[in-house]
Amino acid sequence: MSTNPFDDEDGRFSVLINDEEQYCLWPSFADIPNGWHRAFGEDSRKACVEYIETNWTDMRPKTLRQSISAAAATAQVSDV
């Protein structure tokens, strides 16, 4: 039975980020998929998970955050 490489506590990992500012833990042996680039690593799984927990503070995709901010700004202007 094979184990999931994402669960390997002794593995080497990187943290990837996409254009929507979403993060993922990625095994270092695997090619980085299109649309993603390295934000942190190569390092231990623990260090990469800590990086994600520290830096990915808003799980919403970037375009959703921008859309909500724009709608809120428009609502404030129309309330004036």
Kindly report the CATH number assigned to the domain that includes residue 16: 3.90.820.10
Kindly state the average pLDDT of the residues 55-79. Answer: 84
Q: What is the pLDDT of residue 60?
A: 92
Q: What residues make up the domain containing 71?
A: 5-78
**Percentage of the residues of the chain whose pLDDT score is greater than 90:** 72
Q: How many domains does the chain have?
A: 1
Residue 73: pLDDT band (50, 70, 90) is confident
Looking at per-residue pLDDT, the higher value among 2 and 63 belongs to 63
Q: Calculate the CA dihedral of residues 11, 46, 55, 5 and round it to 10 degrees.
A: 30
Kindly state the average pLDDT of the residues 42-52. Answer: 98
Statement: residue 40 has pLDDT above 90: yes
Q: Give the residue from 45, 48, 44 showing the smallest Cα distance to 17.
A: 48
